[in-house]
Amino acid sequence: MASGSDRNPIIIGGLPSQVPDFDPEETQEWLDSLDAAVDERGRERARYLMLRLIERAREKRVAVPEMRSTDYVNTIPTKSEPFFPGNEEIERKVLNATRWNAAVMVSRAQRPGIGVGGHIATFASSASLYDVGFNHFFRGKDEGDGGDQVFFQGHASPGIYARAFLLDRLSEQNLDAFRQEKSKAPYGLSSYPHPRLMPDFWEFPTVSMGLGPIGAIYQARMNRYMQAREIADTSKSHVWAFLGDGEMDEPESLGQLSIAAREGLDNLTFVVNCNLQRLDGPVRGNGKVIQELESIFRGAGWNVIKLIWDRSWDPLLAQDRDGVLVNRMNTTPDGQFQTYATETGSYIREHFFGDDQRLRAMVENMTDDQILHLGRGGHDHRKIFAAFAAAKAHKGQPTVILAKTVKGWTLGPNFEGRNATHQMKKLTVDDLKGFRDRLHLPITDKELESGAPPYYHPGRKSEEIQYMHDRRMGLGGYVPTRVVRAKPLALPGDKTYASVKKGSGQQSIATTMAFVRLLKDLMRDKELGRRFVLIAPDEYRTFGMDSFFPSAKIYNPLGQQYESVDRELLLAYKESPTGQMLHDGISEAGCTASLIAAGSAYATHGEPLIPVYVFYSMFGFQRTGDQFWQMADQLARGFVLGATAGRTTLTGEGLQHADGHSQLLASTNPGCVAYDPAYGFEIAHIVQDGLRRMYGPDSEDVFYYLTVYNEPIQHPAEPENVDAEGIVKGIHRFSEGTSGSIPAQVIASGVAVPWAIEAQRILAEEWNVRADVWSATSWNELRREAVEVERHNLLHPEEEQRVPYVTRKLAGAQGPFVAVSDWMRSVPDQIARWVPGTYQSLGADGFGFADTRGAARRFFHIDAQSIVLGVLTELAKEGKVDRSVLKQAIDRYQLLDASAADPGAAGGDA
């Protein structure tokens, strides 16, 4: 196909400008020099030289335009297309069968009484893109490595299932159980790519739009990271992300393009299916989304390949000597191109070619039908192959392929290019007949008129099916496939945890620092240490983790090519190509994507990594909760640390930093095991149990979330008869009351446990109340276990009824129960129904604000004195103390005056 380069235009701001050449001989000498550099020294050297020339031109103030967009034609001209190695006739037959089965599967899922829906138009537009990938590019895992990582566009899943059916990976029963995962078990197919639901098939959950692109970027980077650190050989792995042009409006889709360019991730290819439509209408009706995306990607430093027209345009473009056709292509908006996709050949002749004699002359010998079938490049196997091959061969940059297609392609006039096509799920008999005819399938009218339309399989021994199997065997096995080859890790023994269990002595440290100290000891382990992946969003120093800089170092593929400003310090900032720490800048979304890629490496590459992601707790489940859901779906494992937790603990930061609800948000994620520990010895038991559950012999597909604080406190040594089981299950009695005659119970978590201990003292000394203090290390796990117990009892009434752990644990405790934490009351309220006695909770409900810790806690009435009032109030309700003591306590402790509270400890970021 002719391209802009064939006509020698200079592109300025995306528009062709015919700049005259006053010295063609000199021009040719420069071009010959560049050709020689490419031929003799390679493309990398030529690229470097070009960049230096541009740099020098700007130094000399030569007006060099930025080539942000090019003509609206294919990037790869026809003369540069490589030989197509496949059998296009057979591949068309395979694709036709796949197209049919994908559409029929969704249509059958809409039958009366079922009506579970599905989407057919997205795959219809991208089917050729996938088919070329399957036949010629996507590497499987049979060679023992991770193969390629392919992020399939979520709405295209019916097409992936349809292809798997032809390869005998799925049966008709599976296809008929699409979106009926429980009612048709064990044959059910998930609606979209969900590894948790189909753990042997799907690898990457992608249908939450925007998460596929950012996930692919950080997967490609994780591949390089694992290679650099000699954990796995990922040199052959290529990451492919199939995306939609409408999806690119999501901030996560484009927000991290720069890191891929900055780190030269040429192991990454985005394939953007530009069918010009969102779910309800055009992406850029008055504009050109391909041109817009080209500018964005070029500006971010990506290699851009546009795949716009199929081979039927080649003769017309070859005639376009003066650029009138390309100019028409450049200036026609997307909304009009969508209209052309739904109109007749005569309409296109009149409106696209008709108002310029030169354009009319180009098509005067073509019939209306031939004009109608002037196609888009995303449906042409040879053009697609050329684009994919160029992307794989390109070095030094990630590549994006912008492939123009028609949404609903081949589905017939009621579907193709229609605004409503995304929501159209059922084909009429007439639609099916037209679809069958277009695909040339041997299915009779009678089969289509009597009941549900049939699936089509050409036969296991047919030429088409054998071709498919041969292509996949040549590429290393079937895709998608998820394989877990990782072996359990040799986990460290109790000795590694001993130091943290000793407490902090006379020193006051935050629980964040207690965790960091434990992490240091774990990273010294010869077997386990190198597998830790430290991740933080530009906050390592805030969390007291700068001590890792000199030893673990910060990962940078280019190393450190400058002298650090703090190089003379013991904890100097150090970067290295083999660094262990991922310093992802101020991007929680990027960090979480790194977390997911590292946490699923045990399956992706057969080598387990142990990610430890530390962040401001407010910016975790609240800001990137969708990605944590993705993490659970992808069966990723690792530790997530919500540091600087609590509504009142992060003094001075105020409303947007004060987290009093992430534990509640974490409780909504079934893959998350969430804890709110108070002391170092609790952290030790939780982390040890987490390593066992996630990386031991009977590994589980969960991840651990620990909320830790920045308030310095003295950490006691582990009690002699520590209740290790209770710590892990969610509650243990930390301090038994020894004074006072009136029994009561205080349940606290995290930073609130020291307040409860102080309240215990006041209650005994001033109110004759003997209160036990319980540390609720996990309100969430207590509730989760209790819910499962109730579920079992509901369905097994004939069996002995089980009792929730929290109920059994508190069964012997006397008196009312008062729960307190630095969270909103909904967090401790999770266990209310299973506590065997009167229960009341205190919490920090409402927005946070900037003040001293003491004032904030007095305002929310969760400090020690407020706990005292809470216990007395419940005792008064039970008639165990006179109600008059309540007013006495309020007055004595000045509980209505926030300024009367002890300000508490200041500082202590870590």
The DSSP line for 137-196 is T---STTSS---EEE--GGGHHHHHHHHHHTTSS-HHHHHTBT-TTTTTTS-B-SS--TT
Instruction: Return d(Cα 102, Cα 439) in angstroms, integer.
Output: 13
Predicted local distance difference test score (pLDDT) of residue 322? 83
Predicted local distance difference test score (pLDDT) of residue 907? 55
pLDDT at 908 over 70: no
User: How large is the average pLDDT for residues 18-47?
Assistant: 86
- Render pLDDT for 511-542 as a digit per residue (tens, 0 to 9): 999 999 999 999 999 989 999 999 999 889 88
Quick one: how far is CA 465 from the chain centroid?
34
- Render pLDDT for 108-120 as a digit per residue (tens, 0 to 9): 998 888 889 888 8
Predicted local distance difference test score (pLDDT) of residue 69? 80
Predicted local distance difference test score (pLDDT) of residue 506? 93
- Render pLDDT for 659-718 as a digit per residue (tens, 0 to 9): 999 999 999 999 999 999 999 999 999 999 999 999 999 999 999 999 999 999 999 999
User: How large is the average pLDDT for residues 393-407?
Assistant: 96
In the DSSP assignment, the letter for residue 863 is S
Predicted local distance difference test score (pLDDT) of residue 90? 97
Burial of 512 (0-12, 13-18, 19+ CB in 10 A): buried
pLDDT range class, residue 6, cuts 50, 70, 90? very low
In the DSSP assignment, the letter for residue 634 is T
Stretch among 379-383, 571-575, 632-636 having the lowest mean pLDDT: 571-575
Structure tokens at 773: 């203090």
pLDDT at 142 over 70: yes
Instruction: Return d(Cα 195, Cα 204) in angstroms, integer.
Output: 6
Stretch among 38-47, 454-463, 785-794 having the lowest mean pLDDT: 38-47
pLDDT at 420 over 70: no
Predicted local distance difference test score (pLDDT) of residue 80? 93
User: How large is the average pLDDT for residues 717-722?
Assistant: 95
Residues 600, 634: contact at Cβ < 8 Å?
Answer: yes
| Buried residues in 452-483 as b, exposed as e (16+ CB within 10 A) | ebbbbebeeebebbebbeebbeebbbbbbbbb
User: How large is the average pLDDT for residues 134-159?
Assistant: 96
Predicted local distance difference test score (pLDDT) of residue 417? 63
- Render pLDDT for 295-346 as a digit per residue (tens, 0 to 9): 999 999 999 999 999 999 999 999 998 889 999 999 999 999 999 998 999 9
pLDDT range class, residue 9, cuts 50, 70, 90? very low
pLDDT at 19 over 70: no
Predicted local distance difference test score (pLDDT) of residue 63? 67
The secondary structure of the chain in percent helix, strand, coil, rounded to multiples of 5, reads 45, 10, 45
Residues 429, 449: contact at Cβ < 8 Å?
Answer: yes
**Could you tell me the CA-to-CA distances from 408 to 123, 277, 338, 417 in Å, in that order?**
8, 10, 12, 6
Predicted local distance difference test score (pLDDT) of residue 451? 85
Considering Cα of 265, then 307, then 389, then 481, what sign does the dihedral take?
positive
Stretch among 44-48, 135-139, 206-210, 265-269 having the lowest mean pLDDT: 44-48
pLDDT at 597 over 90: yes
Burial of 13 (0-12, 13-18, 19+ CB in 10 A): exposed
Predicted local distance difference test score (pLDDT) of residue 64? 67
Instruction: Return d(Cα 372, Cα 349) in angstroms, integer.
Output: 9
Instruction: Return d(Cα 387, Cα 74) in angstroms, integer.
Output: 9
- Render pLDDT for 353-363 as a digit per residue (tens, 0 to 9): 998 999 999 99
- Render pLDDT for 256-294 as a digit per residue (tens, 0 to 9): 999 999 999 999 999 999 999 887 788 998 999 999 999
In the DSSP assignment, the letter for residue 309 is B
Predicted local distance difference test score (pLDDT) of residue 310? 96
Predicted local distance difference test score (pLDDT) of residue 15? 39
- Render pLDDT for 547-565 as a digit per residue (tens, 0 to 9): 999 999 999 999 999 988 8
Task: Kindly state the percentage of the chain with pLDDT values over 70.
Answer: 96
Predicted local distance difference test score (pLDDT) of residue 213? 97
User: How large is the average pLDDT for residues 817-836?
Assistant: 98
Residues 29, 336: contact at Cβ < 8 Å?
Answer: no
pLDDT at 349 over 80: yes
Predicted local distance difference test score (pLDDT) of residue 566? 81
Residues 677, 708: contact at Cβ < 8 Å?
Answer: yes
User: How large is the average pLDDT for residues 124-148?
Assistant: 96
Cis peptide bond prior to 158, omega within 30° of 0:
no
User: How large is the average pLDDT for residues 26-49?
Assistant: 90
- Give the SS3 label for residue 114: coil
pLDDT at 161 over 50: yes
When the pLDDT of each residue in the chain is averaged and rounded to a whole number, the result is 93
- Give the SS3 label for residue 224: helix
In the DSSP assignment, the letter for residue 612 is E
| Buried residues in 355-367 as b, exposed as e (16+ CB within 10 A) | eeeebeebbeebe
- Give the SS3 label for residue 701: coil
To the question of pTM greater than 0.85 for the whole model, the response is: yes
Task: Kindly state the percentage of the chain with pLDDT values over 90.
Answer: 83
User: 795: Cβ–Cβ under 8 A, 6 or more apart, which residues?
Assistant: none
Predicted local distance difference test score (pLDDT) of residue 5? 38
Instruction: Return d(Cα 740, Cα 737) in angstroms, integer.
Output: 8
